Structure 1
Amino acid sequence: MRSATPLFFALVLSTPSLVLAHGSMTTPPSRVYTCAQGNIENPTDPACKAATQAAGTQQFYDWMSINQANANSNHTAVVPDGKLCGGGNPTFRGLDLARADWQATPIAPDANGRFEFVFRGTAPHATKDWIFYVTREGWDPNQPLRWADLYEFCRLGNVALSSGGVYRLNCPLPQSRGRHVIYNVWQRSDSTEAFYTCVDVVFPGGSTSWVDEGPVTGQNALATGTTVTLRLFNAAGNDVERIEHVVAAGQGAAAEWPYQFALAVNARSQRARVGRLDGAGNIDPVRAASGNRVYTRSADNLNHQIDIRAPDTGVQPPVAAISASATTVTGAGSVTLSATGSSNPSNAALTYNWRIVSGTGTLSSTNAATTTLQLAAPPQDQTVTVAVTVSNSGGSDDESVAIAHRASGGGTYDYVYPAGIGSYVPGTTIVKGSDGLRYRCRPFPEGQWCNIDSAFHYAPGTGANWQDAWVRL
């Protein structure tokens, strides 16, 4: 490999790196681009200042580099809930702050109901797809952004780079109203790498009157006579409204009782609605085990709780418990999970409902007392959370367990970092990092960063900018 010139090294070590960057939305401006256009070292914008206090200034010098090197279209797997705006990259964690004062840009559709987004490509790449999401009506900007808060409204293929080094992305705009976040994903086709962008916007029509409080999920059928209660609380924790619904005969199926409950709430509540919110602001119940959500009036600032009380049969509900054969797995493997230790005071017949709450894996059974969690070797560390609902005729109880799933660090390597630095070959050299995992130096030109002797920035797996130089194996 040709060695870099002294001038090259001087620039790298004295100024934040912009050479191997990639891009961000400029029309409307993304959250990170907006902050980068101000005084990065001493921001006056309150949200940008808070982001700097949380994560430093490097995130704004690197405004074009919110990426995941091994996304490969598995975006929900590599970018966790609450970390979407930073792309799951800790360097950009300041962008994930849940605030209502991020600078938002008014946007409106043209005569054809469309809008041209402009993405500045500082380092163009071959494209698999551009995906646009928008927050749902009732989304709360003061809560961490989740994938469940979004729905896709536009997907484009390999759009050609326009003059000026920008991508012009023409999409139909959703019929949203008021303040929202548009979330953009740019997936490369020549690499597994993807880039992530949050754009704060204001659609015509003012602010929405409803806040999405969460789902009503019919995980199990309910016995006739079961009481389902919606409780609404104010900021002090006091009850302000209670709506009770008693399940009638023939209406206890998992897809039916949430629908009947929603009808009851919508007929009697002065402060809440249950159902599915459409683009026109209507909230209508749906017959489904999932799909109905609780909405409260935004001006009321309420919290909610749904209580389910089984009919008095003299049977005490169980207390769920999970035992796991392991709580840490490296690479591919499996974990046996058992709920046989759940207490059952009345010795009544029990049913089980297993589900994966977060992370990626498969369950051998969802309705047996014991199940096996199968785990494929992950591209990077993840936490897989599995929950079980244990039920009898007297009620139900939930329990969950978190499994730490580690990427495998096995295999051969050329050096233990930082030994050999200065002689690493882009695209070829494999080193063992301080975390015990293996990393390959990125191909040229990104691979130039591998040989820079700055562990703070480029130590594989731990440096602030390690993903610019290395690929975890």
Structure 2
Amino acid sequence: MNNSTCKLAAAVFTLSTLSLAMVPQSAKAHGYMVVPQDYANSCKEGTTTDPTLCTETIGNQRNQIVQGEAAGNHKHVVPQNLCSANMGGEYSALDIPSSNRYATTLTPDTDGYIEISYMTTADHKTWYTDIFVTRDGFNPDTDALTWADLERVEAIDWHGKFMSGSDTIGTAGIKKYKVKWPEAKTGKRILYQVWQRTNPYHMEHEVLGKPVQNVWDSNEAFYSCANINIVSDGTPPDDSQWKSNEKFAPETPHLKIGDIVTARIMVDGTTRVEIDLDINANNIEQKVWKHELATKVNAHKPTEDLLEVGVLNSETDEVTLSANHELNRIFFTNEGFSHLIHVTQADQTEFEFTWNGLQDVYDKKPGESINIPLDLVITEGNDVSYTYIATLIETVQRNGQPVVIEGTVGDLQSFKIDKTGEYSVNVVIKDENEVTESRYFSFNVKESTNPEPGNTSVTWNNQSGVPVMVALQHGIWGEWLSAGATLNLSSDAELFNRPGWEVKEGDELNLGALVNGVEYVSCGKVTFSGDIMLNISKNSCSVN
């Protein structure tokens, strides 16, 4: 993805967004559920393919099903349309109940716990994750979700820490946590999760009470709906020949006669075997083609001693194919084995592409720009014309809009980069037959030299009578300063040298302070040069 007085809510929101620049990260804000797979993520991953249930925006923004001013009052900001967080517009597709949505099969472990995997594309200081399940009698295929349909499973209190467990440093990536599952809640249901970032003035929680009082972050909350199937324990015995297993063919693609469904058997993420099934009028129903494909997988001679699809008898350690495709799992005799289902559409020829010459890191001189060539190459495909749309975003968004380049593969264009930071580029290529492939690329732009510290210094003089937090600008915060105290920082101080926000001699800054943790007071634009004195009162700031 790619600062004047205001109330705390706005100040905290800006703080939460901009302060991400203080920590090096490798992903966009903010998160989505991987296991079980939530609705938006299933749109991106292609496991839900019904076009009425997904849009390109939902897939690309799967980590931003969010309400910015939730502050713990979720029923107020999301009174209805829970799965879209009441965001409206294209996101309303997330609120449509349908049997065509992907459902993750989960089996509680021997202690009755299920494990949730959540991808934080940007980690945040967190108050809680609140996990709910739908009531008995609720049908995810036909019923629109309301708060009255939800029963709390567990509220996990993170006590203002990052979900990575740290007090100070957030780390993007998958976070895993277990919850005790209610024994009676089996079958198909919706698991609903609320991820609430922390601030002292959030609404009290029904179970956890008041939030932690000394940690400031944001009012934001993120929401996830995931269809789940809870089945009984089929864990292999300790001496079992089966070393790993997973739900067989969890994908629910929309198929047409003439399509080809392929089971790809992979070892450590690399495809080793492909087993195809032609789709015709007799097997186009999901329950039929999944059973036929499982039968072909079990009969495939090269892998018959390595895997089996079906239901495990934990007493005999035998796997038997079930007529109910929802119950079948694929069992492997080795760790590192997995599978996925791929669909080749009728008259579709796949292609592959790469970005030729892309580097992981680029050096940029201070004050200059660099051009990064967008050299796209079709590595496998037909001799036809290919068009592309490439969208560049700054991993830590500060301001501005994504940069979009459109063109034809073979016509060389470039991205002009004038800021340091981590960047991601989503490239979507389409051929003459409307066959589409997409990939994400990333790179980092760093300053090639580090300027020597100058003689500039800034002094904050707290005349407000209450504690203040010094600020480089609205959202980039420094130390707390008690009433009547002063703080002098030279240009080599950490506040002026945070990655991505380095300040140079002669820069114009919007210096200020957060008074009593409630109101931001701006000192206006100040040229970063010489000795600067800021006199902070409760409602104003003067510059000497």
With the shorter chain as reference, the TM-score category is: 0.3 to 0.5
Which fold has the larger relative contact order, with Cα–Cα distance below 8 Å and residues 6 or more apart in sequence?
2
Structure 1 or 2: more strand by fraction: 2
TM-score, structure 1 normalization: 0.37
Greater C-alpha radius of gyration: 2
The normalised TM-score by structure 2 is 0.33
